[in-house]
């Protein structure tokens, strides 16, 4: 039922930016505050920012269920770590808890095998408890704590989580 649609056109980039705006404003004000959400959406998930990331090698996908875009994903190959990085995985609130992330992680695992990469990793805010619980269920383990200065007085206070692929 779930299809990963590679994002290549301007319309698709606009769709990802719209999803990002909605999902970030649903989920993150309670975790990082509205000011940081506004800053991060503009800096990292505007049309322009997404286009630049794609040019730099990020692979964006729409997560399509039937004809509905339920969320989005971005992957980056990290051969120096023998890893595929899950840079973004965001699902609309009304589509959560229905197995879409599990199915998505299975597709990502298949891609990693094809690319001969042996692990998946991601970063997640330390206070994003629901997502951390989901990632633990999906076989990821906490590996490190990372604090990154993202400008304007904001920091990202994250766990790095990793899953070894057999």
Residues that bind ligand COA in the complex, under the rule CB under 6 A: 23, 27, 89-91, 96-102, 122, 124, 128, 130-131, 133-134, 137-138
Closest approach of ligand COA to the CB of residue 114, in Å: 22
Closest approach of ligand COA to the CB of residue 147, in Å: 16
Closest approach of ligand COA to the CB of residue 164, in Å: 18
Which of 117, 122 has the CB closer to ligand COA? 122
Output the six-digit token pair for 77: 């190959």
CA distances from 105 to 56, 85, 91, 98, 163 (A): 23, 11, 13, 13, 10
Separation CA 86–CA 161 (nearest Å): 10
Output the six-digit token pair for 121: 């990793």
Q: Are 153 and 35 in contact (CB under 8 A)?
A: no
Which of 79, 99 has the CB closer to ligand COA? 99
Residue nearest to ligand COA (CB): 101
């Amino acid at each position: 039922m779930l299809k990963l649609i590679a994002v290549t056109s301007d319309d698709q980039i606009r769709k990802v930016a719209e999803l990002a705006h909605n999902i970030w404003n649903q989920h993150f004000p309670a975790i990082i505050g509205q000011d940081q959400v506004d800053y991060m959406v503009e800096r990292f998930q505007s049309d322009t920012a997404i286009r630049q990331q794609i040019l730099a090698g990020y692979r964006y996908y729409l997560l399509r269920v039937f004809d509905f875009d339920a969320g989005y994903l971005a992957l980056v190959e990290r051969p120096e770590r023998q890893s595929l990085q899950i840079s973004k995985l965001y699902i609309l609130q009304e589509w959560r808890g229905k197995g879409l992330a599990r199915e998505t992680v299975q597709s990502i695992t298949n891609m990693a095998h094809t690319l001969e990469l042996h692990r998946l990793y991601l970063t997640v805010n330390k206070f994003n408890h629901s997502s951390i619980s989901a990632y633990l269920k999906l076989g990821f383990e906490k590996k490190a704590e990372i604090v990154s200065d993202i400008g304007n007085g904001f920091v990202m206070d994250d766990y790095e989580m990793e899953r070894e692929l057999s």
